[in-house]
Structure 1
Amino acid sequence: MKIALIAHDKKKNDMVQFTTAYQHILKNHELFATGTTGMRISEATGLSIHRFQSGPLGGDQEIGALVAQNKMDMIIFFRDPLTAQPHEPDVSALMRLCDVYAIPLATNMGTAEVLIHGLERGDLQWRSILKQ
């Protein structure tokens, strides 16, 4: 499965902790991330990650384009709801695309853990059927 990993600045440490804890699951999938988030995850875990631009420079939109083409299966996006983001319209557009195309989206650690355990159990295999 193709999984995008995104984290706002104040949530990057949480994303590194999450990916470190679940690298045994994530290593079996194709990973994508926005700029600095991808670099930090890769440095901490050694996981192979395709990196896009940072979010404010268009990374969220690059991932959104893959969603619109049915080329992304899951997004884990640790958002910081307490800090204004200069690219908030891009964040909203990405979330809207996930709803339009039925892409599982976690915006916090609790939901991300539910998705990652579902991924491990095979609960998300329906994504493969949609691609046929």
Structure 2
Amino acid sequence: MKIAFIAHDKEKDDIVDFVKRYKDVFKDHEIFATGTTGKLISDMTGIKVHRFLSGPMGGDQQIGSKVAQGEMDMVIFLRDPLTAQPHEPDISALLRICDVHCVPLATNLGSAEIFAKALRR
């Protein structure tokens, strides 16, 4: 599967810890991520990550493009729901395109855990 990871700044530690916990699952899949998130995941887990631009610089839109083209199977996007994001329109567009194309989207650790456990099976 092709899996994209995105995390807002306040969620970056959580996404790295999450990928570490499920490294045995994710190492067998093709991993994509926005810039900084991808670097952190790669550096901290050793998993190869195809990196896009950072989210505010267009990375969210690049992942959305892959979703629209049928080239992404799952998106795990740990969002910070309490902080306004300057690129909120890009975020909304990504969420919408996942819905339009029926691509599973986790936006918090609870749903991400369910996805990872399903992949493990």
State the TM-score, normalized to the length of structure 1.
0.91
Q: Can you list the C-alpha shifts for 1:41-86, whole angstroms capped at 9, x where unaligned?
A: 1110000000000000000000000000000000000000000101
Letter in 2 for 1:48: K
Give the Cα separation in 2 of the matches to 1:66 and 1:94. Answer: 10
Match of 2:55 in 1: 55
Query: 1:34 maps to what in 2?
Result: 34
- Match of 2:75? 75
Q: Which amino acid aligns with 2:10?
A: K
1:128 aligned residue: none
Shift of 1:91: 0.4
Partner of 2:114: 114
Q: Which amino acid aligns with 2:99?
A: D
**Moved >6 Å (runs of 4+):** none
Instruction: Tell me, in whole angstroms, the C-alpha distance in 1 between the residues paired with 2:26 and 2:65.
Output: 22
Shift in Å at residue 120 of structure 1? 1.7
How many residue pairs get aligned? The number is: 121
Unaligned runs of 5+ in 2: none
Tell me the residue number matched to 1:5. Answer: 5
Query: What residue in structure 2 maps to residue 98 of structure 1?
Result: 98
2:15 is aligned to 15
Name stretches of at least 5 consecutive residues in structure 1 with no aligned partner.
Answer: 122-132
Distance 1:74 1:120 in 2: 14
**Which residue is equivalent to 1:130?**
none
Let me know the Cα RMSD of the aligned residues: 0.4
What one-letter code is carried by the residue in structure 1 that aligns with 2:78?
A: F
**Secondary structure class of the residue paired with 1:102:** coil
- TM-score normalized by the length of structure 2: 0.99
